[in-house]
Amino acid sequence: MANIKLIADVGPAFVKLVENTTIDIDVNDIIVNESVDKSIMPTIAVFNPHTKNIALDMARILKAPMLRNRGMMFLPSFWYNLLWVYFHELCHADQFMKDPSIIKYFNSELPIRYEKEANEFAADNIFNWLRSNKIPPITKLGWIGKRIEDYVNKFYSLNPRVADELDWMEAGAVMNIYDVIELQDLDDDGKMELMEMIEDEKCGIKIDKETFITAPVFFGLYEEFHDKACDETQNRVCKTAQQVA
């Protein structure tokens, strides 16, 4: 089981997750930093095969658009970005443990098949975590919870609906149904089937006049969202998009 060093304290739920997911993978330290200079760590997170440590840059992880590009709302992406990046790097640790010869790639870029496997590993493990867990209340999210509060307070005067998104997140919503329909390019029958499933509470929730899917559905549908995700030039759901290593 890995040690966890919380330079940015992101709450007990993440500590427990690390303890439960590093039992069978050879990792020494999980280092959660508030911010790391890009000259020291060019990417938002990294697995170092020499030290067997995983380092995370929380400031850049919160800004990363990889899940928002797939339609996730802004506030829940703060937490799920952390889980995604952590599991992605944990998969690289597992890949190295199973095949040490891939160390030759770590000074450049891993072949795409390793990155694809890491994305699938992240989606699967978040989905499995959600079987018995949910996003903690912001009072239990430590550094992340404080960033969420700062964001809501900063933008509430400009857009009061940001407070609604906080309520939606705490109720379990992660993606508006209309964004699902757009990214999935559903026909009328598909839209009707999806709405009926949500009415039966099989794959979503309704809050006031808004309809959403929940996190387990989002990550269960990862492959479909990945295939149709917006990028820098064809951005259909997100207002801003940039590729993050």
Whole-model pTM?
0.86
Q: φ and ψ at 120, to 5 degrees?
A: -65, -40
Under the phi-then-psi rule, with left for phi > 0, alpha for psi from -120 to 50, and beta for the rest, what region is 196? alpha
Q: Where are the domains of the chain?
A: 3-64+77-129, 138-227
Q: Is the pLDDT of residue 140 over 90?
A: yes
Q: Tell me whether strands 53-57 and 29-33 are parallel, antiparallel or unpaired.
A: parallel
* pLDDT tens-digit map of 35-82: 999 999 999 999 999 999 999 999 999 999 989 988 899 999 999 999
**55: helix, coil or strand?**
strand
- In sequence order, the 6+-apart residues with CB closer than 8 A to the CB of 14 are 32, 82, 83, 86
CATH architecture of 3-64+77-129: 3-Layer(aba) Sandwich (3.40)
* pLDDT tens-digit map of 27-40: 999 999 999 999 99
Sequence length of the chain is: 245
